[in-house]
Structure 1
Amino acid sequence: MDRIVHHPILGSMSPTRERVRFTFNGQELSGLQGEPIAAALLASGIRTLRKHEESGTVRGLYCGIGHCMECRLIVNGEGPVRSCLTPLAEGMRITEGPQLPNEITGRRLPP
């Protein structure tokens, strides 16, 4: 799949970057070293990056330049980070953020 070779914030990136492995919600994937996490996920066919913390509605890449925060994810247990701005590195463990408990039932909304 085609990759981003110039990002408005991260700058130019070599199309011959090294392939690295990472996980997203426990699924093993691969991407190119230094490309935005969001780009690696999109290239792997993942369009839903997270679910809204309260409503549970799906969220994906929106602006792609770090303004909207819709692409925020947890990386290596820390975050949230903007996946459109965060460079991919070998071994990253990436997950969507936690949902808040439902006000009525006290339980998380179903996936």
Structure 2
Amino acid sequence: MRVQHHPVLGDLEKPKKIKIYFDNQQYTAYEGDTIASALLASGVRTLRRHEDKGTPRGIYCNIGHCFECRVRVNSKNTVRACLTPVENNMHIESGFYPSAAGLKGGTL
């Protein structure tokens, strides 16, 4: 699911392969990928679930504007997958947070 040959740019160089983990499953990414592009190339479409409805959410705008692709990275919440470059052995978790109503005034 990656572009190997571009009609204008020709054959694209293959950067160094690295390992990333999404919800404890290992995936291969390339240096220079964003989290979103690496997961998309690996067939992952759902990055999180809606807070209230539980419906799947994935890449929407892919320019960092909408926050639909937010995930948890190395224990840090609200990381935009479309803007964040991958790092070797990065641990990414799908963003599933309880609804605000379910928190009863608490915080995450």
Q: TM-score, normalised by structure 2?
A: 0.79
Which blocks of at least 5 consecutive residues in structure 2 are unaligned? 4-11
1:18 and 1:30 map into 2 onto residues whose CA distance is 10
Q: Which has the larger radius of gyration?
A: 2
Report the Cα offset of residue 41 of structure 1: 0.4
Task: Tell me if the contact between 2:17 and 2:29 (Cα under 8 Å) persists in the aligned partners.
Answer: yes
Q: Which residue of 2 aligns with 1:62?
A: 60
In the alignment, which residue of structure 1 is the partner of 2:35? 37
Report the Cα distance in structure 2 between the residues aligned to 1:15 and 1:53, rounded to whole angstroms: 40
Q: Does 1:77 align with 2:80?
A: no
Contact in 1 for aligned 2:47/2:95 (Cα 8 Å): no
In structure 1, give the amino acid aligned to 2:31.
Q
Tell whether 2:50 aligns with 1:52. Answer: yes
For 2:27, the aligned partner's letter is L
Match of 1:18 among 7, 16, 37: 16
Unpaired segments of 5 or more residues in structure 1? 4-13, 107-111
Counterpart selection for 1:92 from 90, 93, 97 = 90
The count of corresponding residues between Structure 1 and Structure 2 is 95
* Root mean square deviation of aligned Cα: 2.0
Q: Distance between the aligned counterparts of 1:22 and 1:2, measured in 2? A: 17
**Deviating 4+ runs (over 4 angstroms):** 101-104
Contact 2:35–2:82 (8 Å) recurs in 1: yes
Alignment deviations for residues 32-80 of structure 1 (CA, whole Å, 9 cap, x no partner): 1121100000011000111011210100100000000000000001121
What is the percent sequence identity of the aligned residues? 44
